[in-house]
Chains A and B, each alone.
Chain A
Amino acid sequence: MERRTLLGRLSWQLGEVVATRPETARTKSITLDLPGWRGHRAGQHVDVRLTAEDGYRAERSYSIASPPEEAPRVTLTVERLDDGEVSPYLTEELRVGDKLELRGPIGGYFVWEAEMGGPLLLVAGGSGIVPLMAMLRHRAAAESTVATRLLYSSRSLEEVIYRDELDRLVKRSAMLAVAQTLTRAQPPGWTGYSRRIDLQMLREVAWPVAQRPLTFVCGPTPFVETAAAILVELGHEPARIKTERFGPTGEKHDGE
C-alpha cells in the first residue's frame, strides 16, 4: 500500500472560527484558521465532528467554498436544515473564537484546477453552488482565462448564495458567463430564466458538444439526475460530466 504511505492519514484537526457571514436566510459561511492545513483542491470537502461535553459525537461532510489560494484559511458554506443535528449548530450557535474539529480534504474526483483547462460548464442547484464556487474563486485567484459558464438554479432571488460576488466575478472576467434560473418566485424585471432546468435551457447555456467541455453538476438528487441526463442526451460525453448529489437530507455527499 505504497499510496497510503505517500498520502498519509487524514487526522482530525482543530480550526478556529475567524469569521462568519450569513449568505442567505438559510446559509452561512464559516471561515476557519487551520494552521495544520495541507491544502486542498477546488471541489473537495471536509468531515466535521461535533463533540458534546458527555462525549456524544455527530459527524457530517461539508463542501469547501474557498479556493486553495486562501489556505490555511478554509471557508465552509453550510445550509441550515430545520431537522438537522449538525447544521443548526454550525449556522446558529458557532461563533468567532470557537474551535471546530474537522479532517480533510476529502474527494479527489469532483475537482477542478486551472491547469485542467476547459471550457468549463458548471451547473448548480441550490447549495450545490458551494463546491462550484470554490472552482470559480480558484479560477479568479489563479487568473485563469478558461472559458467558463455557470448555470445556477435557485428557488428565489433571496436564496441565491454568493449573489454579489458572482456579479463581481462576471464583471472581472470577459470569459465567465453566469445564467440564473429562479424556479418559484421572480422579482419584477427579472431577465433570467423562470423555470426548472430543462433541455432547451441547457441547449442555450451549455457549450457546443464539439468543444468538449469539462462539466461539473452539483445539487439535490432530482436536479443532478435531470441535468446530467439532459447533457448526455445533448451528446456530451458521460466521462466528462462529473456529478455530486445531495441526499434528501441536503447534506453534502461524495461517493457512497
Chain B
Amino acid sequence: MSGEFFSRGFRGRRRKSELSERLPPGQYLERDFPVLSAGPTPQTPLANWDFSIVGEVDQPKRWSWDEFHTLPRETITRDIHCVTKWSKFDTHWEGVSLDTLLAQVATAADYVIAFCDGGYTTNLPLEEVTGGKAWIVDTYEGEPLAPEHGGPARLLVPHLYFWKSAKWVRGLRLLDEDEPGFWESLGYNNHGDPWKEERYWGD
C-alpha cells in the first residue's frame, strides 16, 4: 500500500533534517514528559524498597535503598522514544548501571525479566541490558524521580521503546528462556527497537 496512497490535503509539518536523523520512523518530538501506565501509581515507602536479582543465578542478590546508594553511580543523557509515537531528546538521568549490578552475581542466563511494584513486567535479552546500555535510575533532570514517572526507581533502556524502561522496578529475574512481559503479552513487539519500528507483534 505504501507509496500509492496519500491523504488528500495533508501537508504536515516538515522536520528539519537534523530532527529527522534523531527521530525514529513514525515518531514526533515532544517537549513535555507524558505519563503512561496501566494502573494506579504504586506507593512503596523507601524503608520497604529493595532491589533484587533472582532467578538463574548462583546466589540471589538484594540491595536495600541505602545499600543501592553506596553503588557507583553514572549520569546518562539520552533521547527516549515511546511506542505511542513521542520522542524526547536529551533527557538527563542518574543511577546505577546494570553492568554494576549484574557483576555481583554469576549467571549463565540469556534473558532477563524486570519486575515492579504494581505487577508490571517487561522482558529483555541480557545482551540488550549489558555493555553500558541500561541503568536503574532514581534521578531525572537533577531531581528525585517523580512517582508518576516511576519513582523511586525505574529501569532505563533508552535504545528500546520506553515500555521496556519499567517504572517502579524492584528487581530482575534472570532466565534461560525468553518469557514475554506485560505489554509483550498484549500485542506489543517482543523486542521494541524504535529504529526498526518494532511496535507490535509481527512488526
Contact = CB atoms under 8 A, between A and B. Distances in A.
Contacts of A85: 12-13, 28
B87 to A, nearest CB: 12
A55 B162 CA distance: 27
A60 B8 contact: no
Contacts of A248: 32-34
B7 A239 contact: no
A50 B7 CA distance: 6
A249 B39 CA distance: 20
B41 A228 contact: yes
Measured as residues with beta carbon below 8 angstroms from the partner, the interface class of chain A is 35 or more
Interface in B57-109: 82-86
Contacts of A243: 37-40
Interface in A207-256: 221, 225, 228-229, 231-232, 238-239, 241-243, 245-249, 251-256
Interface string A177-189: 0000000000000
Given A61-B85, A106-B187, 10 more contacts: A9-B202, A9-B203, A49-B26, A51-B6, A56-B12, A101-B1, A110-B38, A238-B42, A239-B39, A255-B83
B180 interface: yes
A193 B85 CA distance: 35
A204 interface: no
B46 interface: no
Identify the interface centre among B10, B28, B201: most chain A CB within 10 Å of its CB.
B10
B202 A8 contact: yes
Given A243-B40, A255-B188, A3 B180 contact: yes
B176 to A, nearest CB: 17
Given A1-B190, A101-B5, A108-B187, A52 B36 contact: no
B11 interface: yes
Contacts of B12: 50, 52, 56-58, 85
Contacts, number: 160
Interface of A: 1, 3-4, 7-10, 12-14, 47, 49-53, 55-61, 85, 89, 93, 98-101, 106-110, 221, 225, 228-229, 231-232, 238-239, 241-243, 245-249, 251-256
Contact of A53 (B2, B6, B39): B6
Q: What are the 10 A-B residue pairs with the smallest beta carbon separation, nearest first? A: A247-B34, A9-B202, A228-B40, A248-B32, A108-B186, A256-B162, A256-B163, A253-B84, A50-B7, A221-B35
A93 B9 CA distance: 7
